[in-house]
Amino acid sequence: MKNQIMWFLVFFILFLLLILHVLFAKIEVYIDTTQGQYELRLQGIAKVIVEGHQDELIRIRLKTLLLNFYFYPLRKTLRRAQGDNLQQARTNKKEEVKKAKKKPRRKKSKRFSFRKIIKALRTFKVKKMILDIDTGDDIQNAKLYPLFGFMNQYIGRFNINYEGRNQLVVQIYNRPIYIIKSFINF
């Protein structure tokens, strides 16, 4: 009996430690358009990478502690769209009859207020931001030059070039506990 209680306590403590690790782990979003890197990382737990593929347009790679998984999000939607067209033609008449009989009801739903969404967005911190663009129009580039000079002082590194290069590098991080805290505190 004591042995079972001890094992239960050990597993319970390990479970609590895992939850604490997930709450305080760093979530990082990294986007680099020149390298073609689009990543979402949960520090020490998982990494989601969006990458190009030869046959499919994109594939998503999920790297966990020990395993790699590949998902092809557009493959399923194409199959569904083809199958839905056949089924939709059959059920159109049935749906029209049902809609005519029932009056629409408004459901009470819990919506996030604009203020809560802004508070949650403020918990994200920008670690790196590089924007190097050429609009293709010299006058438009000249108009953006003072704005980018002003933003260089506060946010990141912004540059206007006249060489046709376009680059965006963004690295944003947060912790789940901060997001939860922003919704709980008013």
8 Å CB contact between 183 and 116: yes
pLDDT at 185 over 80: no
pLDDT at 92 over 70: no
Alpha-carbon span 153 to 171, nearest angstrom:
18
Segment 22-48 shows an average pLDDT of 93
Q: Please report, as a single letter, which amino acid is at residue 56.
A: E
Mean pLDDT of the chain: 83
pLDDT at 169 over 90: yes
Confidence at residue 79, expressed as pLDDT on a 0 to 100 scale: 52
Give the residue, 59 or 80, on which the prediction is more confident.
59
Segment 74-100 shows an average pLDDT of 56
What are 47's strand-pairing partners? 41, 63
Nearest to 174 by CA among 40, 64, 55, 67: 40
Segment 39-48 shows an average pLDDT of 92
Q: Where are the beta strands (DSSP E) in the chain?
A: 27-32, 37-42, 46-52, 58-63, 68-71, 125-133, 157-160, 167-174
pTM above 0.75, yes or no: no
Alpha-carbon span 182 to 186, nearest angstrom:
8
